[in-house]
Chains A and B, each alone.
Chain A
């Protein structure tokens, strides 16, 4: 069953249209990767889904409900949580306070405490640095914090924007291992946006290729990995 559905979605920045009517589906339990080069519109897609950008056209439905005009904070309440790109953790808050912010919409303190334990087990590094300010963490730790914070809202659908950006290959593998674990063990559906097409496609059930604001290809992760055009454009092999 489709958990998230984008139907002919366009987004404009002023007079410039960044997304030209894209459609995609994420089914419950899946890991879906959205790959594309710089400026293809990946982050804009994420921002449209999480509600930070408004649509100029099209429709987004989540869990059978039309959320195209819903405020970002109310989408979180519905179970849609984004781990934003790059350093969008709260730099002045400690690790624990950051994680606590993730649970902002929740009122079940017992459940929050249990989830905090789970996140800290998932990311032992965060447990070590729980009292440290978010801004003083390394890039990889900040990324873990962003993912952990998103998990604290106990989402149905987790949106990950460039989880591998600026990280060392070792850390990237670690992050992707955790993404797979979250999907398989906690049953959370994941939509991830990546420049690192190799890692993303090999972990995803399905993938979409975004080029200058349009979806140009879709298929299973394996199919896309072996697709000659994708290989040439994104995997650095000719």
Chain B
């Protein structure tokens, strides 16, 4: 049985790789045209009405969620996956507390942008500002990126000297600490009551907002997908830069990287900070769109889900992890009738992927080679003893 699935999977992969190779073999202008078409399709998705494809929409089933809203969630999860991929896939650090950065991003916009936040109220009092004053959305965007970047460095500074499993445990703790602080530091975060009236691009949520309202999610999706595309572009650039090479070297062999002149700690800290900032950006969009956040929205389950998106999709490959994110966000929405079993199905899927494809659905070629090499080394090892 497993062998049958394996051979089917091998056929699928060779088909995929030949698609990739064929794409790379195309002339530059055709590649560009294909990318433009894909981007156009991504922007068109919320309006999806092509006969034969409408069954994809989540509102095509009874009680299904708003289609554009689901797409928005998919988009911010893709952002999370891209950010976590920098940490896990590129630098090879297992971060099980990524939700912490997501939460910090969301709380940044809430604490500084909402008139109901204790922080804004305190600033109003201190500086004699009117009760309607709050930090504007665009400044909050910068703030949340900067704050998560700093929190990434603060978490990374003492912990990145740890290796492997130890780092995973510490980060798992970090994610929980953020959530518990958000719940208990009532004077700062309103605790379990949460914070409402979180602003969007047009200011605080209100019926007068023409574009970014509470009902129509399409503009939110378009905003999120724009951020995703921008970040894909930036991370791509990073991957092929000096920092990207350092990540790769550190991931493959930390000591060898050090004797090549890479400072592993610095490379890892960069990965952590950039990954954190992307998680923060995603959390920022989440908080901004939701207009209300409370600590229960940031529990440790989500951290695991985030890692699962990266691992299932194909750690190290941006297309792979994006696919992982979309699948894990979209499937439970579209197939609601079985959504009660989602954790069961999810667990089974994880086990299957680990047995059949430890490198993920669309793996990075490099990661696949590393896994192969490690397996070969493990087989050879007894011979050396």
- Name A residues whose Cβ lies closer than 8 Å to a Cβ of B: 50-52, 71-74, 76-77, 81-82, 84, 87-93, 97, 100-102, 104-105, 133, 135-136, 149, 153
Contacts and interface: CB of A to CB of B under 8 A. Distances in A.
A101 B370 contact: no
Contacts, number: 81
* Pairs of residues from A and B, 9 with the lowest C-beta to C-beta distance, nearest first: A135-B373, A76-B261, A105-B261, A91-B373, A92-B366, A72-B258, A92-B370, A88-B256, A90-B252
Contact of A92 (B246, B252, B255): B252
Contact of B261 (A73, A135, A136): A73
Contacts of A87: 377
A91 B256 contact: no
Given A90-B248, A92-B366, A135-B369, A50 B263 contact: no
B263 A52 contact: no
A153 B261 CA distance: 9
Given A90-B248, A135-B376, A72 B259 contact: yes
A96 to B, nearest CB: 12
A60 to B, nearest CB: 15
Nearest to B370: A92
A61 to B, nearest CB: 19
B92 to A, nearest CB: 11
A77 B261 contact: yes
Interface of B: 242, 245-246, 248-249, 252-253, 255-263, 366-367, 369-370, 372-374, 376-377
Nearest to A51: B258
Contacts of A92: 248, 252, 366-367, 369-370, 373
A93 B261 contact: no
A101 B259 contact: no
A102 B249 CA distance: 11
A73 B262 contact: yes
Nearest to A153: B261
A73 B254 CA distance: 11
Contacts of A73: 258, 260-263
B258 A90 contact: no
Contact of A71 (B257, B263, B376): B263
Contact of B372 (A82, A101, A135, A149): A135
Contacts of B255: 52, 84, 88
A82 B369 contact: no
Contacts of B366: 92-93
Contacts of B367: 92
A7 B177 CA distance: 48
Contact of A90 (B256, B261, B263): B256
A133 B373 CA distance: 10
A153 B377 CA distance: 28
A100 B244 CA distance: 13
Contact of B256 (A51, A74, A84): A84
A77 to B, nearest CB: 6
A93 B252 contact: yes
Contacts of A91: 252, 369-370, 373-374
Contacts of B256: 84, 88-90
A204 to B, nearest CB: 22
A77 B252 CA distance: 21
- The winner among B242, B248, B260 for most chain A CB atoms within 10 A is B260
Contacts of A74: 263
Contacts of A104: 242, 245-246, 249, 260-262
